Structures are given as C-alpha cells and as structure tokens.
Structure 1
Amino acid sequence: MERVLVTGGAGFIGSHFVKRILQADDVAQVTVLDALTYAGHIENLGEAFLSPKLALVHGNILDADLVDSLVQEHTAIVHFAAESHVDRSFLAAGAFLATNVLGTQTLADAAMRHGIGKFVHVSTDEVYGPLLQGSAHETDPPRPTVPYAASKAASDLVALSYFHTYGVPVCVTRSSNNYGPHQHPEKIIPLFATRLLRGQQITLHGQGQHMRNWLHVEDNCAGVDLVLRAGVPGEVYNIGGGTDFTNKELTDHILRLTGASWDSVIYVPDRRSNDLRYSMTCTKLADLGYRPERDFEEGLAETIDWYRRNPDRWAPLTRNPHAASATAVSAPAGEEARAH
C-alpha cells in the first residue's frame, strides 16, 4: 500500500490530484504539504477531508527538517508545489527561484536519504519556450524565456540530476495549460469568466493570437497518476492532447458561455516576453495508455458554471488576491495536525 506525500496539494491542480488518488484502493495514506499561500486553499480539498486517509500539513518545502520528517513516512512523492504565475515572476524572480529550484532540491535530498519509491516532479510546457511551428519532444532542450519558466526548467534539471547521480526514481511531467473548477482568478479562464460574470470588461494582449493547448485538470491528473504508477525513472513525460486555441478563440468561447459580447473586450499592448505558441508531442505517455477524456466545450461550460455558482469562493480573491485561507484545519482521527 502506497503512502503518498503531495506537495502543493491544496492548490488548483494538486487538490484535484489528491481527490483522485484518495479513491485508489492501493493508496493507504495521502499527506498534503502546502504553504497555503494566496493560491493554496483548504477549501479546494473540500470533501477530501471526509477521507480518513488524508492529512494536511501546513508548511513550506524549503523547511528541510519538516520535509525530512514527512518524506521518511512515505513511499512516494508527487511534487506540485511551485510559484506558478508568469506575471508575478517578473516582479519576484528570486521567490520563484527559491521555491521552485531550492524547494525541489530540498525534497530530492530527503528522497535520496530515505529511499523513496517514486518521485514525480510536475512541470510545464513553458520550459520548452516558444515554437512557431512543430512540437517539442521530451528530449528537446529547455529554452525558457521568462523567470517562471526558467525556474521550472531549472527545477526539472535538478530533479533529474538526482536520478542520474543518486538513483532517486524521478519522473518529470510537463503539461499544457490546465483549466477547471476552483482555479485562482489570476489565470486567464477564471479571470475572464469572473470579470464577465460581474459585467466588467476584459483585456486581450496584442491581437489575441497567442496559441495555447488547453487540457482539463482531471486529464492532467490522470496523466500524473499514470506516471506515478508506470513511468520509467529518469524519463520526462509530456501531458497534453487537449485543444489548441488562440487567446482570441478562447475568449470567444468564454463570451458565449457567460452571455457577454465582444463589446466587453479591450485590446491592450502585448506584455513582455509573451511567447506566441507552445506545442508538445505526447506520444510517449500515450504509449503507456494515456488518453485525455474531457471534451473542451463540455469542460469549459462546467468550469464557468462553477464560477457562476460559487462567487463566495472567488469574489474575496478579487479584492485581496494575496490573501491565503485562514480557516483552521483538523487532521483526520488518529493524526496529529502539524504546522510551523
């Protein structure tokens, strides 16, 4: 029976992953380690707290003593914890490098000392940099253009170095843009949806021609789960296969689903280092049996409906986007709540 430590498990993608693996019969325990910053909220875990398998630890992956004490109690690590927003990385590159690179190294050190059975490091397609044509393969070198992507590329290399140097069974996943319920409203889909639902205007950079691949968060989590179980240590796996849209095309879908018109859209000058196009091949994971299942139209409609029905979850974040959840948490019966 596996005991899985999930870093960043109260964040958007991490919380969906936690709910998924709690349902697995071969998982005996899931411990979430999360700093509960502005993007991590215990409310994201919701009904997961009904499971006696779940424990939550409020802490930082840079806390080496805490990380060591947790890793020695688990058989696997799935590492989501990261600073993740491109625009924020322009203003706080040091924080991104500290959390994403040194935090990964802290976890990898503990995994090495305690002989962890599997270490899945979760990354992004942005490490490949822009591609005007063609698609990136897992063997292509990273070419990041912004501090966020550079910090993730560096953390990928750190994690993989622990496989090559120390034999830590590391796999890296790199996913395309995720969407789904309870994503922080700084990201484009919830940002546009929540502003339009309030009758406000939205802004498109440049002419809205930036191309991204959109993957439902549940499909990404299915891919990460498959890599946890069947991924070959030392390998990188791209997770995509969603739907490609320009930002203008994506905006058209969101306008229609929120009942808004193009009169709500303002075009603004492009931001710096805004990569025009990302694209990856995903055949390597497909060879393990991976197939994305969520239809984009259906998934986007469900996502926007969640924001329509749950303004209590996102409205406070639009007033104070840096606020973290302050709700007290009790560990499951038999577990001691740990914090620092």
Structure 2
Amino acid sequence: MDGAWVYLVTGGCGFIGEKIVELLSQQDYIKEVRVFDSVVKEEVENLTTATTKVRVMRGDIRDWGALLAALEGTHVVLHAAASVDCRDTVPFGELRDINVGGTENVLRACCVLNIPYVVYTSSVAAVGPNTSCEPMFRGNEDTEYGGEVELPYGRTKAMAEKIVLEANGKKLSNGGSLTTCILRPNTVYGEGAAFLQELYLAARASKGVLNYLEPEDTERNHTYVGNVAWMHVLAARNLQLKPGLLAGQVYYCYDDTPSRKGFLVRHQLLATADPSLRLGSHIPYWKMWLMIQLHRIIRLILLPFWEPQPFLNLPLLNTIVTTFSYETDKASRHFGYKPLFTWEESRHRTAQWLKAAVGSLEPPQLHGKKN
C-alpha cells in the first residue's frame, strides 16, 4: 500500500506538529497528510510536494463531529494537539478538557472509523518532577519514578498517557485492533520556539546578559524540533511495520544536544544568533521565590483593572531547578532512530530563525496553544 497512505496530524500547525508535517510530506509512501488544528497556517498547506498532498482542516479536537469528518479515510494518526501551558494562564479544567478529553475523542474516533495506528505526543512533564522535587538523574523509559506531578500541564499529559496506553489493543469496529505508542519530548528548541525568543528579548533588556535560574549541577535534556519530528515519522512508520514491537511502548525523545548545564546550551543557541550576548550569573532560588510572591500580590491588587503579563510560578520554578534527565537508545533499538540533524546543524538552523524572528523585537506569544 506504499504511496497510498493517508496520515493525519492533530495540532499540525503547532511548533512540533508543523515540523512533523514537513517531514511526512517528504515521504514517498504517503499520499496525503491531513492537518487538524484550531489555527490554520497557509505555509503548512504549502508543504505539499510532488508525491504528497498536505491539506489543512480547521477544527477543535473537542468537537466530535469535526474530528470525525477530518479522520474519515485516514490510516495513521499522529496526535500532537495540546494546550501547552506552564505559567497558569489556562484554567486546569480547560487544560484537562483539551489534553485529556481531546485525546479520548481521538482514540474513540479511531475505533469508530477503524484507524489502527496512533502515535501520541506526550511530554517528560507527564513523568515529573514530582511535588517533592525529587530528581531523576539520567534515567530511561524503565526508571521507576512516582509521586504527584508538579506541573498541572504535566498532570494532564500523564492522564492522557494512561488513556493512550489503555487503548492499545482495543477492538476496532471492524474487528481489528488499535495500536498505540507514546513519544515524550523534553525541552524542545528550534525554529518557532517562543521561549528562545522570550529569553533573547529578556537578555537584550538586561544589556545583553543572560542570567539563569537552575543550579550549575542541574541536568535537563534539550532536543531539536527537527529530530523530535523525525522520531515521530519513524515511530509512525514502524508502528505499521512492526506493531508487535512498538505497541504500547513509550519513548523519550533525544539527540546529541548536550544535557549538562542547560543554561550553557541556551547561551550557545542565543549567542550563535547574537555573539554579543554574555552569560550572566545564577539567580538564587530565594530571590525568585520572593519575586513570584510579589507578582502574585500585585496581580491580586490590579486584576480588577488590569491583568499583568504571565510570570514564573512556583511549580515552574521548582521544575526548572530540579534535575530531570535521561539517557536512552530505545528508539534506536526499536525502530532505527538516528538524529536527522547534528547539534551543530540544529544550533545554526535555530540561530538563523532567531535572527529573523527578533528582527522586529516584538514580544512572543506566551499563552498556551489550543487545538
């Protein structure tokens, strides 16, 4: 059936989703890539190639009718749509409705329409850190780590993961079986990463100095968006070719981006775009804690008249300062994953985008994306 497959990417106009669509459109075994998103971007439709058509369909994954219409005739679903919010700008109920309820809709629709393959884009935030801020140091997919997840966003992703894993093997209406797997990105950088634009603007406002919050011995993985997307493409293909191996599996996303001293990684990314940026100093936890409390008080006072810009909160601060890293080659062993882009290539591609993105020095959109 090569050359006749129809893939659908929920959230395909988003940061990771758009790159997934771009790489899928370059695969000659795919006839059509459908994008289901609450935001329509013309540049995504323009990813159509000589062999693969890209079609963007506007809709919300909470809308059952619109979702069914988009999925009709699809063979593989990559479910990347989510509300990504770590700053408490989206109420938890809305986060849950999109990230959990929307995932339930996608899985139910696949069962009704006999779509046998689903790749779910989760997050390392679904694992931790937990509310006790216990570190995970270079773990892997089999590392045991418990406790309530610190970030509300992460809690919704953990709930969705549970639903996706429970759906694996579920009967389709034609008697077949649903096959699912999960990918967990960590801090994803690259073209379109709003947090990098935000960091750059903050550094320029501080006379070209980039300060940082995490202690120097903290570890956290960073992965280039192109490599995260490539892992999705390979996982989806091999979910079809080797369902017995990939079914019900979870994979951390990784590449050769350095994991130690994340502030150095961010400085390298920004300094490649603007060599005048200097690495500053560590901001103590207590100072940031006080600033968060002060911001909360000011917000309560001003809220009836004016809503201040989103600021760091304690769950996010605790996440930033807690080591949460992994080392794994599971994706390589299971479906032959190798990063499509080296650290050097990833850094320079990111820098080219950042130089263009900050040309107007407009502040980035901080609110969570909804699909």
TM-score by length of 2: 0.75
Q: Aligned-pair distance for 1:209?
A: 5.3
* Identity rate, percent: 21
Code of the residue aligned with 2:227 in structure 1: it is D
Code of the residue aligned with 1:23 in structure 2: it is Q
Of 328, 343, 346 in structure 2, the residue corresponding to residue 296 of structure 1 is 343
Change (3 A) 1:104 1:298: same
Match of 2:190 in 1: 180
Match of 2:288 in 1: 269
Match of 2:219 in 1: 211
Q: Which string of whole-angstrom CA distances, capped at 9 and with x for unpartnered residues, describes residues 174-194 of structure 1?
A: 1222111122x2x2x332234
Change (3 A) 1:46 1:156: same
1:195-274 to 2 correspondence within 5 Å?
195-196=202-203, 204-205=212-213, 207=215, 210-231=218-239, 232-242=246-256, 243-254=258-269, 256-257=271-272, 258=274, 259-262=276-279, 269=288, 271-273=313-315, 274=318
Name the Cα RMSD after superposition.
3.0
Larger Rg: 2
Code of the residue aligned with 1:172 in structure 2: it is I
What is the number of equivalent residue pairs in this alignment?
A: 315
Query: The residue matched to 2:314 in structure 1 has which SS?
Result: coil
Change (3 A) 1:255 1:215: closer
Change (3 A) 1:44 1:94: farther
Q: Which moved more, 1:121-130 or 1:189-198?
A: 189-198
CA–CA distance in 2 between the matches of 1:234 and 1:10?
27
The unaligned stretches of length 5 or more in structure 2 are: 130-134, 172-176, 240-245, 290-312
Query: Does the Cα contact within 8 Å between 2:211 and 2:282 map onto a contact in 1?
Result: yes
Q: Which string of whole-angstrom CA distances, capped at 9 and with x for unpartnered residues, describes residues 261-287 of structure 1?
A: 245986651552323122234322111
Query: The residue matched to 2:326 in structure 1 has which SS?
Result: coil
1:24-173 to 2 correspondence within 5 Å?
24-36=27-39, 42=41, 45=44, 47-48=46-47, 53-88=53-88, 92-130=91-129, 131-138=135-142, 140=144, 143=147, 144-166=149-171, 167-173=177-183
Q: Which string of whole-angstrom CA distances, capped at 9 and with x for unpartnered residues, describes residues 250-271 of structure 1?
A: 3432453322124598665155
Q: Aligned-pair distance for 1:321?
A: 4.6
CA–CA distance in 1 between the matches of 2:57 and 2:121?
20
Q: Which string of whole-angstrom CA distances, capped at 9 and with x for unpartnered residues, describes residues 98-153 of structure 1?
A: 11000000000000111103111111122221334340325746652211111111
CA–CA distance in 1 between the matches of 2:270 and 2:28?
41
TM-score by length of 1: 0.81
Query: The residue matched to 1:101 in structure 2 has which SS?
Result: helix
Q: Aligned-pair distance for 1:2?
A: 0.9
Query: The residue matched to 1:309 in structure 2 has which SS?
Result: helix
Change (3 A) 1:45 1:146: same
CA–CA distance in 2 between the matches of 1:140 and 1:265?
31
Q: Which string of whole-angstrom CA distances, capped at 9 and with x for unpartnered residues, describes residues 70-123 of structure 1?
A: 21221110010001132236x522221111000000000000111103111111
